[in-house]
Amino acid sequence: MSSQNQLSVLHNFKGILFSTMSSKELLNSLDSFDAREDDVFLVSYPKSGTHWVAEVIENIPNAGITLTSPIEFGDISKFEELKAYSKRRVIPTHLNYDMLPVNVKQKQCKIIYIVRNPKDTAVSLFHYYRDNPNLPCVETWAAFFELFLRGDVVYGSWFDHILSWEEHKNDKDILIIFYEELKKDFAKSLKKITTFLDINVNDNEINKIASKTSFSEMKNNAVKENFDPNHTICALTADRNLVFRKGVVGDWINYFTSKQKRVFDELFTEKMKHSEVARHLKEFS
């Protein structure tokens, strides 16, 4: 991949690569964002299931919420746009903990952080790089794998991102949700989310939400609602067709060579040796 290609769609901000869809001016002004105490932030590293969880939350009946586009998507007019929402705002973002607006931390806004097996995340992000015109073109999985290991991808290193958030896992306003857990026991995970957000749902409603937000259902809806600018949940595209690919757990096995697996596992062990999240992820792998 030529560095020219990378430069045209990505820019470096504080040592992390961002899409040019997040203007430098906006990123520089994040700390001037005026959070409300009832704001909910939906956070993850890219390709970890943000869209899915956003759709799930949107389908909770009578929750009195509005899903906005990501806080880092666009230019400085973003704050005016967010101010216009009167209902409780659910704001998606892929920012690491340190870049989250200071006001959000001060007001102890509720934050849901979604974690996904990094091997599946890497494969999903590789396909995103290939399909999304707002990201550089990477020809091969082998080339992308090297970039991912170095953290030379959009939003930086997966390891650094997770660890920045895990450091705050005991804050009462932060809930960590695992993508794989959501797949395995949807009702239990949804209960965790609604309890955390102080929203009441009964079992019947949970079953309804489950069928409405199944992967195939969402993929179909994405085709219907495509390019709806009011339904942009990803800071890297407004094209919803690019967002839902397979949504399966364990697809990485079809991509990683045994050598890549070994290299990745060694790095994972070294970087995540004190991580509780890492131990939890191992239960799913």
Query: Is-catalytic flag, 231?
Result: no
Q: Would you say 27 and 18 are in contact if contact means Cβ atoms under 8 Å apart?
A: yes
Kindly report the average pLDDT of the chain as a whole number: 87
Q: Quick one: pLDDT band at residue 119, thresholds 50, 70, 90?
A: very high
**101, pLDDT greater than 70:** yes
Cα distances (Å, whole numbers) of residue 8 to 101, 139, 183, 238: 27, 17, 37, 18
pTM (2 d.p.): 0.89
Domains defined for the chain, CATH in brackets: 3-244+252-282 (3.40.50.300)
Mean pLDDT of 189-194: 92
pLDDT score for 218 = 59
CA-based nearest residue to 65, from 42, 96, 93? 42
Q: Are 244 and 222 in contact (CB under 8 A)?
A: yes
Q: Could you tell me the pLDDT band of residue 3, with boundaries at 50, 70 and 90?
A: very low
Is the pLDDT at 241 greater than 70? The verdict is no
What tokens appear for 275 in the block? 């991580």
**Helix H or strand E encompassing 66:** strand 65-67
What single letter denotes the amino acid at residue 141? W
The two three-digit tokens of residue 76, written as one number? 């400085």
Asked whether the predicted pLDDT for residue 41 surpasses 90, the reply is yes
**Catalytic residue selected from 11, 51, 94, 231:** 94
pLDDT score for 112? 97
* Mean pLDDT to the nearest integer, 217-235: 56
Q: DSSP H helical segments within 29-117, as ranges?
A: 50-58, 78-83, 102-106
Q: What is the mean pLDDT of residues 80-92?
A: 96
C-beta of residue 193 within 8 angstroms of C-beta of residue 206: no
pLDDT at position 71 over 60: yes
Burial 99-128 (b: 16+ CB within 10 A, else e): bbbebbeeeebbbbbbbbbbbbbbbbbbbb
Q: What is the pLDDT of residues 124-177, one digit of tens each?
A: 999 989 888 889 989 899 999 999 999 999 999 999 999 999 999 999 999 999
Assess whether pLDDT exceeds 90 at residue 30: yes
| b/e per residue 49-82 (b: at least 16 CB within 10 A) | bbbbbbbbbbbbeebebebbbbbbbbeeebbeeb
